[in-house]
Amino acid sequence: MTESLSTLDWWVIGVYLVGLIGFAVWLSRSQFSREDYYVGGRHVGAWPVALSIMATQCSTNSILGAPAFVAFAAGGGLIWLQYELAVPLAMLFLILLVMPMFRHLQLVSVYGYLEQRFDLKTRLTLSALFLFVRAFATAVTVYSIALVIDLITGVGFFWSVVLLGAFTVVYDVFGGIRGVIYSDVIQLLILVVVLAAILGSLIGDSGGLMAMLDAVPDERRQTLDFAHHGLGDGETFAFWPMLIGGFFLYVSYYGCDQSQVQRTLSTASIDETNKALFLNGLLRFPLVLLYCLVGVGIAVFAVQETSFIDSLPTVDGTPEYNLAVPLYMINALPSGVVGLAIVALFAAAMSSLDSVINSLSATTMEDFVRRFHRGHWDDRKELLLSRLLTVTWGTITLIMAFYVGDIATTVLEAINKIGSLANGPILAVFLLGFFTRRVGGTAAVMGLVTGVLVNGWLWRFQPDISWLWWNPLGFAVTWGAACAVTVVSRSAPSAALDTSEIDVQRYLREEASINWYWRSGWLLLWFAALALLLLWIGM
């Protein structure tokens, strides 16, 4: 695949990477404290934050894996789109019930709330769980993306890791959260332009959009599956697990995961935080639809050009379908634009890595280093330590990427399930703090462990149950176990933040200038409009 990369393409890639570094160095001039570094001084706008969050979601695995799922996977197709129906509902829940509280507390680490509401061990348990899962998942992500970069460019696995990881770490170290956010915006715009160009080319090859859709087999055009439930029938991607399980997953991910919450906490006010979530609830579906339609086009093109599948690289004799999009764009796009397309792949990878590395640094600094340091550090020293922690975590994840190869074939299949293993229990711990008064830290942690173990049991012994159901089931088990421990032990929490002080509705009335009850109604209308659109596409 490398022979199609011209000198102009390599110049485009090089200029982009060097430009990112220069941009990050320029942003570093306005950093004077750890709050500047981790939450941008709390004055980043809603639009950049919303686009940054979307860029993180649109990873290389998404723009390569989703089209491959739509075009080639057994049981695949546009059925994936029904997963996105949960997003506006999750955003509505976070806007009205969760984020105003975090904004009011002026948090840097979202896990700081858990110490105020429960105790120190609850904070450290959730923080350590985040560090472990995210560091490991990031190493696997680097490994998988480096393999793709190597296959496309031919520079070798080692240099693919260095090329991807080193540039990401360097601009992360200098740019901080503002570097993460604004570079993500640039990367998302490049990605959308390239995907639109690829889709336009595919539509042209198919003779028009409707002709392209009509050429897809009916089973791959199906967008809603009400015939299955996923509770033992072996159907993972049925409607109800994707809607209900997706709702719990998205609320947990966007509301309780440091890599996501940190950016929404970088805004200036509750209104700006909620605007970012509101925009994400509206704009994420069109982005996912874009790269799923690319998958439709690839499926049609593969039928028309029978040699296309044979030209894909193979792994153990099986075509590597995830490389279908890169192969098409290298052959279909002109020189220079191919370089921009490769930049889009780099952009998708970097936008997934940069936020995680920065959040690993922030969590370590806030929940461990500053929490246990006795004495006072000035702002300059805290900023230096924050950057050193970013270098440390970036180095750790890059080194780990060289050692996950032996297990990557199983982990890459399972890594998407790990979030569902823990997301429901994690969400339950946070909402126990919001909506109960008696549950204490010990009960919450025991509930968390019970919920994760039950989900692990489902994974091991009940494979016919959709992993999407683990999110609400883990939530329910954690909630029930924590309440049971509280009743049996007859304990009462001792915390600085009593639940009687939590009044999210008052924060919305007194600290927000927008009526978010009315504004959030648009998310319900958007949910209904998307459901009708999916019905039409699947007809």
User: For the domain with range 2-368+378-413+520-537, which CATH number is right: 2.60.40.650, 1.10.4000.10, 3.40.190.80, 1.20.1730.10?
Assistant: 1.20.1730.10
Taking CA atoms, 453 is separated from 96, 233, 421, 432, 448, in Å, by 31, 22, 9, 19, 9
For the chain, what percentages of helix, strand and coil (3-state, to nearest 5) are there? 80, 0, 20
Q: At what angle do helices 270-304 and 324-332 cross, to 10 degrees?
A: 70
Q: Locate all alpha helices (DSSP H) within 215-323, ordered by sequence.
A: 218-221, 239-240, 246-256, 258-264, 270-304, 307-310
What average pLDDT does this structure show over 286-306? 92
User: Across the chain, what does the average pLDDT equal?
Assistant: 89
> Which tens digit of pLDDT belongs to each residue from 25-82?
998 988 989 989 999 989 999 999 999 999 887 777 678 888 988 998 877 889 989 9
> Which tens digit of pLDDT belongs to each residue from 308-325?
998 888 777 788 888 888
The pLDDT value given to residue 165 = 86
Residue 499: band (very low, low, confident or very high) from pLDDT cuts 50, 70, 90: low
Q: Which residues pair with 318 in a beta bridge?
A: 315
The pLDDT value given to residue 166 = 86
- Close Cβ partners of 189 (under 8 Å, ≥ 6 residues apart): none
Annotate 165-208 with three-state secondary structure: HHHHHHHHHHHHHHHHHHHHHHHHHHHHHHHHHHHHHHHHHHCC
Residue 456: band (very low, low, confident or very high) from pLDDT cuts 50, 70, 90: very high
Percent of the chain with pLDDT over 90: 54
The pLDDT value given to residue 441 = 93
Delimit the domains of the chain by residue range.
2-368+378-413+520-537
Residue 216: band (very low, low, confident or very high) from pLDDT cuts 50, 70, 90: confident
What average pLDDT does this structure show over 317-338? 84
What average pLDDT does this structure show over 402-426? 73
Q: Taking 70 as the threshold, does the pLDDT of residue 332 lie above it?
A: yes
Q: Which of 184, 194, 192, 190 is nearest to 55 (CA)?
A: 184
**What letter does residue 403 receive in the DSSP assignment?**
S
Q: Which of 141, 127, 159 is nearest to 13 (CA)?
A: 159
3 state SS of 424: helix
Q: Which of 240, 219, 246, 283 is nearest to 79 (CA)?
A: 219
The pLDDT value given to residue 91 = 97
Instruction: For residues 355 and 38, give the distance between their C-alpha atoms in angstroms, rounded to a whole number.
Output: 10
Q: Taking 80 as the threshold, does the pLDDT of residue 538 lie above it?
A: no
The pLDDT value given to residue 497 = 63
Instruction: For residues 401 and 490, give the distance between their C-alpha atoms in angstroms, rounded to a whole number.
Output: 47
> Which tens digit of pLDDT belongs to each residue from 181-199?
999 898 889 889 989 999 9
- Got the DSSP string for 92-132? HHHHHHTHHHHHHTT-SSTTHHHHHHT-HHHHHHHHHHHHH
Q: Taking 90 as the threshold, does the pLDDT of residue 426 lie above it?
A: yes
Name the strand (E) or helix (H) holding 455: helix 441-461
The pLDDT value given to residue 494 = 59
Residue 445: band (very low, low, confident or very high) from pLDDT cuts 50, 70, 90: very high
Q: Taking 60 as the threshold, does the pLDDT of residue 367 lie above it?
A: yes
Instruction: For residues 355 and 181, give the distance between their C-alpha atoms in angstroms, rounded to a whole number.
Output: 8
> Which tens digit of pLDDT belongs to each residue from 141-178?
788 778 778 877 778 889 988 888 888 999 999 999 99
Residue 476, both tokens = 């329910």
The pLDDT value given to residue 4 = 59
Q: What is the pTM of this model?
A: 0.92
Instruction: For residues 253 and 449, give the distance between their C-alpha atoms in angstroms, rounded to a whole number.
Output: 18
- Decide: 261 and 102 in contact? Cβ < 8 Å: yes
Residue 501: band (very low, low, confident or very high) from pLDDT cuts 50, 70, 90: low
The pLDDT value given to residue 424 = 96
Residue 492: band (very low, low, confident or very high) from pLDDT cuts 50, 70, 90: low
- Decide: 117 and 435 in contact? Cβ < 8 Å: no
Q: Which residues pair with 267 in a beta bridge?
A: 44
- Decide: 345 and 369 in contact? Cβ < 8 Å: no
Q: Taking 60 as the threshold, does the pLDDT of residue 500 lie above it?
A: no
Would you mind telling me the total number of residues written for the chain in this entry?
A: 539
